[in-house]
Amino acid sequence: METMIGVFDLGLGGLTIFKELLKELPDYNYFYLGDNARVPYGPRSPEIIFQFTQEAVDYLFKTGCELIILTCNTASSVALKRIQQEYLPKNYPERRVLGVIRPAVEGVTEKTFNNRIGIIGTEATINSGAFEREIKKLKPEAKVFTSSCPLLVPIIEAGELNWQGLDLILDKYLSPLRKKDIDALILGCTHYSLIKEKIQKHIGKGVRLISEEEIVPIKLKDYLWRHPEMEKRLKREGKVKFLVTAYSQRFQDLAKMFLGKEVNFEKVEI
């Protein structure tokens, strides 16, 4: 059985991080799993999000993954803690599941000057309070302001990046944050990196954007350096496999937009 790094996301969003992982750490073997059949997770209950995430993690472990990264912010904010504290000790005590919340928080606390931080994400991510809790651990004096953006993922997944209505929606979501004098904004969803320029325009040039695809690969490299016992278990053959729970030509075309190249997807059931 191949020992690989698993990357899990709801659908396409995680490809933004995955693309940068392949640049920063190209030698490892990877499985990318997109649960696009059940997207979006954001409006679902915490219990359902945990169930879906556990099923995906279980599938990736059974295919030979030693380490899994939940690039989905919804899964990271709602399910990661339970996965780490309940699921892993009982089922795979020697394996690890990491998220994207902590790396993003470390990035924002390093870049804010006035300690007024904004966060945008799905309903489930924002309602979980995961970002705020992690920020307060590192910077207790920080003031955190959030905005739930339920329409952005469906619009981006539909490929409507240049739709005029997107600007109106962004203005609605970001207007409350502009009034809070934030100087840093976490893009708390992997999809949002595809519309970074539009977000920057609506939030203002003086606000630093914290986008996870710029941070997570560097943090993973650091993690493997600090955990040689895990790094030694991972094969370095440069193999990459893309798995999805639903397939369509539309999905293939959008994946090319995310990755910048054609890839072959294998449809699986989890």
Active-site positions read 72, 189
With 0-12 / 13-18 / 19 or more C-beta atoms within 10 angstroms meaning exposed / middle / buried, residue 46 is middle
Task: Residue 227: name the closest of 82, 98, 58 by CA.
Answer: 98
268: left (phi over 0), alpha (psi -120 to 50) or beta: beta
Listed in order, strand segments (DSSP E) in the chain are: 4-9, 30-34, 65-70, 96-98, 116-121, 143-148, 184-188, 208-211, 240-244, 265-267
- For residues 128 and 119, the answer to whether their CB atoms sit within 8 Å is no
Tokens 């998220």 belong to residue: 99
Q: Count of alpha carbons within 13 Å of 244, Cβ hemisphere only?
A: 19
Task: Calculate ∠ Cα 51-270-65, nearest 5°.
Answer: 95
> In Å, how far are 104, 140, 200, 206, 208 from 183, measured between CA atoms?
15, 17, 12, 7, 6
Taking each helix axis from N to C end, the angle separating 216-226 and 101-111, rounded to the nearest 10 degrees, works out to 110
